[in-house]
Amino acid sequence: MVFPGGKRDPTDESVLHTALREMQEEIFIDPSVVEVLGEYSPIPNQGCTLKVHPFVGLIKQPIQDIEKDIRFNPDEVQRVFSVPMEHFMDPTKRLMVQFRNSKLLYPTWKIDDPAITIWGLTAFILDGVLRCIAKGGPVDAEEIKEGMDVKQYKPSKPSAFV
């Protein structure tokens, strides 16, 4: 999973194009090697000043060693790391914590590396996507045909996930 971030450029044809362009700018993965699996519901940031449009995709090229095989733009990305999906599916790895002064509890994941905690909006999006996976996947998902130019992808609904 990758969480590129950035605002839509006037030249971006869709929010999916924005996500793929940002991914390429931040971690140098060419959009042509990504199979977009679906779109998660747009989520506002804490201050409600913008909406995040998460997409789930599969990088089709093999990655043997994330720290060696993935280059990143140090002006945009602090660190690149990988976490096995099994870690996220293990309920003992997920903690609910209070965030700042909120009265609500939010998900976080402690990773085997003590320097890494997945929290905030990233954890919130990840938690939602994992809940969809645990329930058997997307409802009324739209298929993006293999080899389809992602610039042509326009979801017919706001989200493929419920």
Q: Does domain 15-152 have CATH number 3.90.79?
A: yes
Predicted pLDDT of residue 3: 59
For residue 25, CA distances in Å to 1, 4, 30, 114 come to 16, 9, 9, 28
pLDDT, one tens digit per residue, over 76-110 is 888 888 888 888 888 888 888 887 777 778 888 88
pLDDT band at 13 (very low <50, low <70, confident <90, very high): very high
pTM of the full predicted structure?
0.72
CA distance 146 to 149: 9
The distance of Cα 77 from the centroid of its chain, to the nearest Å, equals 14
Per-residue pLDDT reduced to its tens digit, 108-153: 888 888 888 898 888 888 888 888 877 754 444 455 566 666 555 5
- Whether 157 shows a pLDDT value over 50: the answer reads no
